């Protein structure tokens, strides 16, 4: 049985090794602790890795079934109610996923660009194609939102120019319509 001081030294050494070298070349560290059995050594490595990953897990937001971040912050929840921000978040997720697909592609190639793993390379192409199609659909949604916003602004301006009283009634009616379909607008604006 190893003493607590030596265990503490081992844990510190593992932490430093993981941060500086990564999860490889363990024989260098293993040589510094010959009195510790393999089973105990690897158990300590596992414990330290889990401890290092726990803060990351705490910082990572919870996600729902669609992969959308679920916030416990009331301000963020309020912001998330607006479609504008939901589209931005979706766009950011697509960019992150595209970067992941690029990493998958790079791992399937050697330094000269020759394909080493055809299956992985094919999967990266398929993923990038799907992500590009999703991005295109999102861009079409943005265009639709922009067109609708411009249409309603011009509609209200046209009605307001003819009759401010009618414009107010139209805005109240539009607010009611938007409330029915889940959007919120302020009829006073």
Domain assignments of the chain as residue spans, ordered by start: 4-60, 69-180
Within a 10 A sphere around the Cβ of 19, how many other Cβ atoms?
9
Q: Would you list the DSSP string of 105-161?
A: HHHTB-TTS-BS-HHHHHHHHHHHHHHHHHHHHHHHHHHHHHHHHHHHHHHHHHHHH
Model pLDDT, residue 162:
85
Model pLDDT, residue 21:
79
- Which candidate, 29, 18, 24, places its Cα nearest to that of 52? 18
Model pLDDT, residue 115:
92
Model pLDDT, residue 66:
46
The CA distance from 120 to 127, in Å, is: 10
DSSP 61: P
Model pLDDT, residue 84:
54
Both tokens assigned to 49: 């890795």
Model pLDDT, residue 79:
47
pTM summary value: 0.41
Both tokens assigned to 143: 């265009």
Model pLDDT, residue 82:
52
Model pLDDT, residue 93:
80
Angstrom distances, CA of residue 157 to CA of 26, 154, 170:
71, 5, 11
Angstrom distances, CA of residue 20 to CA of 34, 49, 103, 157:
21, 13, 22, 62
**pLDDT of the chain along its 189 residues, tens only?**
667 888 888 899 998 888 887 888 888 888 888 888 888 888 999 998 888 877 654 445 555 544 445 555 554 554 455 555 666 677 778 888 888 888 888 988 988 889 999 999 999 999 989 988 888 888 888 888 888 888 878 887 888 888 888 888 888 887 888 777 765 554 444
């Amino acid at each position: 049985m190893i003493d607590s001081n030596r265990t503490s030294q081992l844990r510190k050494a593992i932490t430093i090794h993981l941060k500086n070298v990564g999860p490889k070349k363990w024989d260098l560290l293993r040589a510094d602790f010959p009195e510790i059995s393999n089973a105990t050594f690897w158990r300590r490595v596992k414990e330290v890795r889990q401890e290092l990953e726990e803060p990351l897990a705490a910082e990572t937001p919870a996600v729902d079934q669609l992969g959308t971040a679920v916030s416990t912050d009331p301000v963020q929840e309020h912001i998330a109610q607006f479609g504008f921000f939901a589209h931005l978040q979706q766009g950011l997720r697509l960019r992150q996923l595209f970067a992941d697909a690029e990493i998958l592609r790079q791992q399937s190639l050697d330094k000269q660009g020759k394909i080493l793993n055809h299956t992985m390379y094919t999967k990266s192409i398929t993923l990038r194609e799907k992500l590009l199609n999703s991005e295109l659909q999102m861009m079409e949604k943005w265009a639709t939102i922009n067109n609708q916003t411009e249409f309603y602004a011009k509609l209200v301006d046209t009605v307001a120019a003819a009759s401010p009283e009618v414009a107010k009634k139209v805005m109240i009616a539009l607010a009611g319509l938007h409330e029915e379909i889940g959007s919120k607008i302020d009829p006073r604006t």
